[in-house]
Amino acid sequence: MKNIYSIIALTLLLVSCGGEKKNSVENVLESENLETVRKKRGELVNQQQALNEQIKLLDEKIQTLDTVKHIPLITTFKAKTEVFHHVLELQGNVTTKNLLVITPEYNGILTNVYVKEGQKVSRGQVLAKIDDGGLSQQLAQLEIQSELARTTFERQKRLWEQNIGSEIQYLQAKSTYESQQKAVSQLQQQIAKTTVRAPFSGSIDDVITEQGSVVAAGQTPLMRIVNLDDMYIETEVPERYVSDVVQGKDVKVELPVLGKTLDTKIRQAGDVINPANRTFKVEIGVPNNDKSIKPNLTARLQINDYTNENALLIPQSVISENAEGEQYIYVVMNKNAEGIGTATRVIVETGKTQGDVIEVLNGIDSGAEIIMEGARSVKDGQSVEVINYETEANDN
């Protein structure tokens, strides 16, 4: 009897399995019968609803039994006021107003060059001489004639004072003498142009034209003279900084080639905006006591265009933006002794940026605890746990 029950149970199991296989989704699809397919779909939907109800009950039970809360772990820093120096980064070239290529004022042969390259010279020192083409001889003759005219005038003057002779004779002698004086003076000025003198003190950087060459007035470059004492950097600043970049502003100058960094100031700011590129020029004085700074060196400039003595600075990485274009950050509120608090979204108004930090103008006060790591993943009103408290934004 026992064996008979076993055989019957096995038979029912086989029939059941056969029925389930026959009623599988694959077989239903192969049947090509619309009613059968719809019936199978209805069965699956009912099973899905039943499973969802069961899962919901299980979730509620788990939430009741689980005493360990899964709270996001974050790090924070505390905002505080500090001095904020914003700088405008530009590039400029070193130059000097005392850099000049000397050209002659007289046409002729360069008869003498009295200086060498690298030689120090003083203002007014004779550098070279040009052949005057016979002007010296003409001057000597004019001086003799002038001396004769002077003697004649003086004698005529004495006679006139004694009421001897006519007034016209006196006036003619005076006119002749003055005319001779002017002729001598003009020729002396011409001859002076044949002597090339240093326009300022400095050093001869290059002797361009050799002795014996024919030179033309205002055209032939003779030599280059430079003075490295009064160096400056010239750069162009966008017009939007015209009210911030003014005379006296602090500037940090970096000369990459020399490996030097200098602190100086703007000595002159232009008053005219260039209409072609909407910029204005500024000059930045450069101390050059060791004469290591040369003209045309490239310099990197950091011009202090804005200073806030009580600025709140935060890393730019913690700021997000919503669909309305508003910037916001998350701060921790109501933190307990275990470091658990609430993440609260705060809309902020920002100012200038410098490197990785940005100035906050409105929205938070000094002492606000701002979420650093984890700021992108938390939600407004969510419980969070602070695991690493930082006091300064710049330390992050």
339-383 tens-digit pLDDT: 888 999 999 999 988 888 999 999 999 888 999 998 888 888 888
Per-residue pLDDT of 100-156, as tens digits, reads: 999 999 999 999 999 999 899 999 999 999 998 888 888 888 888 888 888 888 888
pTM: 0.57
pLDDT at 10 over 60: no
- The region that residue 381 occupies, defined by phi over 0 for left and psi between -120 and 50 for alpha, beta otherwise, is left
pLDDT at 393 over 60: no
Joined together, the tokens standing for residue 275 give 């209409």
**Amino acid in the structure at residue 105:** E
Are the C-beta atoms of 61 and 69 separated by less than 8 Å?
no
Going from the C-alpha of 264 to that of each of 86, 91, 189, 231, 235, the distances in angstroms are 16, 15, 44, 12, 14
What pLDDT band is residue 23 in, cutting at 50, 70 and 90? Answer: low
Strands 223-226 and 99-102: antiparallel
Q: Which is higher by pLDDT, 312 or 391?
A: 312
What pLDDT band is residue 64 in, cutting at 50, 70 and 90? Answer: low
Strand ranges across the sheet with 202-207: 99-102, 223-226, 202-207, 120-121
* pLDDT at res. 331: 93
What is the separation, in whole angstroms, between the first and last Cα of the chain?
83
Q: Which is higher by pLDDT, 159 or 210?
A: 210
pLDDT at 12 over 70: no
Mean pLDDT of 167-192: 87
The count of C-alpha atoms lying within 13 angstroms of the C-alpha of 193, restricted to the half-sphere facing its C-beta, is 18
**232 backbone dihedrals φ, ψ, rounded to 5°:** -155, 165
Per-residue pLDDT of 191-226, as tens digits, reads: 889 899 999 998 999 999 998 899 999 899 999 999
Residues facing residue 129 across a β-bridge: 112, 195
Strand ranges across the sheet with 108-113: 195-197, 126-130, 108-113, 214-215
Question: What is the overall mean pLDDT for the chain?
Answer: 85
Are the C-beta atoms of 333 and 65 separated by less than 8 Å?
no
pLDDT at 266 over 80: yes
Joined together, the tokens standing for residue 232 give 């400056």
Quick one: three-class SS letters along the chain?
CHHHHHHHHHHHHHHHHHHHHHCCHHHHHHHCCHHHHHHHHHHHHHHHHHHHHHHHHHHHHHHHHCCCCCCCEEEEEECCEEEEEEEEEEEEEEEECCEEEECCCCCEEEEEECCCCCCEECCCCEEEEECCCCHHHHHHHHHHHHHHHHHHHHHHHHHHHCCCCCHHHHHHHHHHHHHHHHHHHHHHHHHHCCEEECCCCEEEEEECCCCCCEECCCCCCCEEEECCCCEEEEEEEEHHHCCCCCCCCEEEEEECCCCEEEEEEEEEECCCCECCCCEEEEEEEECCCCCCCCCCCEEEEEEEEEEEEEEEEEEHHHCEECCCCCEEEEEEECCCCCCEEEEEEEEEEEEEEECCEEEEEECCCCCCEEECCCCCCCCCCCEEEEEEEECCHHHC
* pLDDT at res. 13: 42
Helices 135-161/167-192 angle, 10° precision = 160
Q: Which residue has the tokens 């039943």?
A: 50
Are the C-beta atoms of 211 and 113 separated by less than 8 Å?
yes
CA distance 227 to 288: 11
Rg (alpha carbons) of the chain, rounded to whole number: 48
The least confident of 63-77, 116-130, 247-261 is 63-77
* pLDDT at res. 66: 58
**Amino acid in the structure at residue 191:** I
CA distance 223 to 192: 18
Residues facing residue 260 across a β-bridge: 255
Residues facing residue 389 across a β-bridge: 76
CA distance 286 to 94: 8
What pLDDT band is residue 11 in, cutting at 50, 70 and 90? Answer: very low
